[in-house]
Structure formats: C-alpha cells, structure tokens
Structure 1
Amino acid sequence: MSSSEALDGGAVDTVSPVQLLSPTGQVVQSDATAEFQPYVDALDDEQLRSFHRDMVLTRRFDREAAALARQGQLALWVPSHGQEGAQVGLAHASRPQDHIFPSYREHAVAMARGIDPVDILRLLRGHTHGGWNPAEHQNFHIYTLVIGSQTLHATGYAMGLTLDGKTGTGAVETDEAVVTFFGDGATSQGDVNEAMVFAASFQAPELFFLQNNQWAISVPVSRQSRTPLVHRAGGFGIPGTQIDGNDVLASYAVSRRDLDAARTGGGPRFIEALTYRIGAHTSSDDPTKYRTDDELQSWIARDPIARFETYLRGRGESDVFFAELETLCDDLGADLRRRTLALPNPEPSLMFDHVYSEPHPLMREQKEWLAQYEHGFDGADTDGARA
C-alpha cells in the first residue's frame, strides 16, 4: 500500500514530489521544477562526480559492514542501501558551518562529513558509546538510537544559535543552520512533534529531513498516516516539500534552498524524501516477513545510483571514472575489514568518560570503584580461583 492510500483502500490527499531526474536517468524539466534548476546548473562536472562517488562508496561500505555483521564481527548493523541519494544530496547542500544531527542510518552523510567509517563500525561493534567528537568532524553529531530524540537535540541547538547571534543575519556563507534526520516511524513519536513546536515557535534555523523509507521496522507508513507526512509540517506552521528521495539532484537542490532560507532568518523547513530501505531495518530484522518481493523490486527499479550513473554517462562521463571508482570501492572494502578486525578491546573504564562535558564527581567515584573491584581479581591462583 502506498503512502497515498488509506487503510480501507480509499484515496487520500496526494502530493507531487519534486523530481529533477527520472528513474531512467532523464532530466525532468517543468514549471514545477524551474525554481530548482539553477541550483543544478551551477554544479560543475567534478561536483557531479563527487555525488556519484559518495553514493557508490557508501553502498560498498554498507555491503562490507553487513558481511562483518553476518560473521559476528558487529553487534548490530543498520543498512542504508537505497537511501544514498537522499543523504548525499543533503550532505552536499549543507555548508561546513551547519550542524547535522543524525539518527543511526546516515552513513553517507557521515562519510561526506569526514567521519572515518571504521568509527561507525566501532560504535556498532560495541567499542564506544559515541564514536566521534562532533567538534572535530565538521559538526556531524553522534548517532542516536533512541527514536526521534535527536530532533529535540537539534532544535535546542538551533535555538541556541539564534540566541548566540550565529544565524539570521542574512549572510548565507557564514550563518549557521541545523539539520536533523529522522524516519517515517519517528514522526509518530512525541519528541519529533515537540521539536517542531519549539522550532516553529522560536523560528529556529533548522531543516527537518524526513527519510520516508516506507517502513517503521514492520509497520508500513500507510498505517501511520492517512495523508502524506509532509503535510504534518504545515500543522506546525513549517513550510514543507516532498521530494523524490532517490533523486540526488532533487535532494541537493531543495535542501540547498531550504537551508539557505533557514540560516538567513526564514525559520524552520521540512523535507519529506520518498525513498526505500532495500535491506532490513537492522541485521536482526527479516523484512520478508512483512513486505512483498513485488514491492521490493519496484523500488530497486528506482535505484538512486543506477539512475545517476545513466545521467552521468549521458553527459559524456568516461568509462575510466567508473572503473577507478570500482578500484576505490575494493580498496575501501579491504581497508574496512583489515582495520575492523584489528580493533583492540576497549578499556572498561572508558564508559565513564565524556558522560558529561566536564569532570563529574559521580563518574569519578564510579570509575574508582570499578578499578578497585577489578583489582580484587589480581590474585588468581593457577586453578583460576580468586585469592
């Protein structure tokens, strides 16, 4: 069932998503897309190659991580296969000063922002509680597995930017904005709705980026909402746009427009990117239990990478570029496996570090207790009994 059908099969309100590149890789030009065409026209050949490079490398990362999970090397894996177009478009539309608050599936954005993919694997291997310091990685904040909570973090940060005078001056190149990612399932969480209330009330410089991948684990979006999710933004007074989330150019152009508007005093914006998770929700999920193969194949036919490759080849991109990219993918895969398997076990005491931004007496007390407790096992005899 599609997002534009009610549970009883009756038609409900529909939206025509912004699409600049068709599933067959053809440029779409119409009155509805005219305002976004200048953003695409301004892209040079190298920028277009970087879009494709980031999508392809992310998918290879996804494949290697899934294999590591099956081999027992990861505690959990969260696939992003199929959602690369939405993520890469936004990643390139954002500016270095913008802050990104992800959920847990934004691998393409993380890599585009300079996160070492092994740091993502360290997190999902259970070696770290956070993975990276956002201040050292182009303002890309840590993954959040508590559904929807990152939207509150993002809204609070965006309100802080306004209070600190770091946005709203009209300077597109230097003013800051905030992006928060979430999925269709998260729109049913109170946190997401509360975040939009505060963002709208205080005109926070924030872009709410919804990746509607059609399934909240095993619940279809049609059961969560009888109308397109983009309409929810309007209820909070936030302008919303629905896009073809498998069209990297649409994601880039609409995100660029909305982020520039947000950072220059236009208040929050909302994008619903229609996409699909080709893989499972996580490595512990079996999607064959709740969705049909026909549905899956229909979305595979709209693959963001295949359509963009067709587009690039139509522009005259050479075979050399694609061959070199395959080599990069092979190098990435080998490097990921080697470094992940070589990761040392972390010190247990690390769990107490960075819980608070400053040293905290409770954390110090607990860390000292653990050290004393472990010290009590130092006198083991040869039979393994403790002294």
Structure 2
Amino acid sequence: MAVNARALNGGWGALVVVSACLALGACKDDGAGSELGPTTESTAAEAPETGGDGDGDGDGDGDGDGDEIVGLELMTALGGLWTGPATMTPLGVFDPMHMDLRAADGHVLFSRVDLDAENSLRFMFSIEAIAGQDRLVYRNGGYFLGQLRDTRTILQDHTPLDPAGVSSWRFCAIDGGCDYVDARWEFQSPSELVLDVSVKGQQHVLWIADRVEARDLPDPFPVDATAQGSGDAPFPPMPTLEVQVSWQDPLADPADVWVLLSVQDCPLADFCDYARSLRTTAEAGATSATLTIDQVHAGGYKGNAILDRDQNLQATLFPGTGDAVSLPNQAVTIAASGTSMAALVTLVEL
C-alpha cells in the first residue's frame, strides 16, 4: 500500500505553519479571503508610491533620474542558503526558517518552502514594469489554506552596500503602499541579514538569518535589464522532484515520512542546513509514500528520509527509538526542467 501526497514541509521540525502565515497578508483578520482567489496569480499593478524616494521620480534613489533601475545589487547579495529564527509572527516563533535563494533563470531570484498542498511560502525578486516604469520587485506569497496570497512590493528606497557589506532595502506594496506592507531587508554584514515586515502597521515577522552556504549566480545577475512582465507575469517554469520513500514492513499505525534535501552532507545526529524539507503522513498498512516538491532548483542534492513512527520529530527535531532512516546523504539529481525521480529506502532502524 502506498501513499501519494503533495509536498508537506515542516522544516527539520519547527517550520509548521510559518510558511503560510509569512505570506504577506495571509494572517489578516479583515477580509483576507477577498484579496485573492485560489487561482489568481497576483494583485493588479497600480501606480507606485514615491514616499521615501526623495525626488519623486519613483525609482528609489533620490537622484531625479526615473529611468535608472536601482537596487539590483540586492539580488546578488541575497544569493545563498539563509537560515535563522522567524520571530514576532502572528503565530509565534519558528526556528529555524530556511530559504534557499537562487537564480530560477537569468532574471529571477527565487526561493520556496512548503507546508502542504494548500500552504506554501515563496520569495521572488525581479525587474517588472510597474505603471510604465521598470522597478525592482519583491514578490512574497504562496497558498494559505488553498487561497493564493501573492503580494508584489516595489523598492521605495535603499542604502547601497558599503565596504563592510552593510545596506538596507525598503519595499512597499504596489496595492496599498507602505501603509499596507512595509518590508525591510537589512544587511548587518554580507552573511547576516534581518527581514523586518509590518502589515497594516503591525509587526508581521522579524527574520534574523545567516547565510550558511553560498550559491553561484549568473554574472552579471540579472543577465540584463529586461522587465519580466508588468506586474502580472507568472512564476518562471522550474523543475519538479518526485521522491518515493519506502520501508519493509507495513505500518501498524499512521506515521510521518520526512525527506530532507541539502546541498552539503546532512548529519542526522545534528542540525541540518537543508535547502528543502518535506513531510507527509502514511496510513496504517503503507509500505511507501510519494512526496512531490514543485518549483525546486535544479542541480545535485543529498537526500535523507526518516520514517517517524511516533510522529514526534517536529517536536524533538531528531529521529528517536523506533524510527527508521535511509542510508545517509543519497545522491539526488534534479534536471533543469520537467519532473525528476528519486527513491529513498529507510533501511536503518533506530
């Protein structure tokens, strides 16, 4: 008996509902369901605010030249696997939260984390033509209880990188401006950042993260200044990975099945800096489970699977007595397009 489920991501245990609630606007209590329907790709692009721009030209640099696309160095600065605690959220503290920011193509920086088929979080940066002007756009969203939350924000002002790597970028919602969403990316050094977000004047998340792994990006990046749509373009096409996890004996009771994907070896006896993690629940009698992760970056990974028989990995963060794990760090390769397949067998009983 096999279970076939879409990607369920809980972090290495802690990231359970943060992906849904950190989608900007997802945890509102004032008509959130009316913002976007389940199949709507984005909010409409309206004229951007110029508050904080300093010169009124709307490009965020205060020099009076509205044709320049400023702030693009943020896309290069953000490349990498970042991890750290997400605090001050409407649902409490989530530690850790991992985001693997890489080039989805020559123009888009992208990362994603999933809770389940109805809940996910995505970050994306690209150039878009907003109200006729090419701007740097930070796109935040995903599905929350099956409803799409996809908020585009535009750069309002920024402090360029100094020699020590200190800098800041402020983004505000296209639809609603800074009074609706005010998102500040602040670098304390090249490998330390703070994401400080307010929604409608209320703290929404404070993510203090370290870059734990570098990622190669195209040079230059973006490869050119071509706008990626006008505020309504879909996400770029990306690969999918389907992982089958299997074990020998049918389950006596339901159990959680976890998959971790990391670029470096993942030590199961210690915390893992994973790029994506997935979880599903296999029912009694099952001998396998299939998990599908969408919008995953292509390349080589290390795959680890855990059969969490007592369903407590989320709380303990480590597999325990009675659980089963795969042989460590199995090679998983994701092709540049289409669906790649992987199989992991939980051979080692703890």
* TM-score, normalisation: structure 2: 0.24
User: Higher RCO, 1 or 2 (CA under 8 Å, sep at least 6)?
Assistant: 1
Of Structure 1 and Structure 2, the greater strand share is in 2
* TM-score, normalisation: structure 1: 0.22
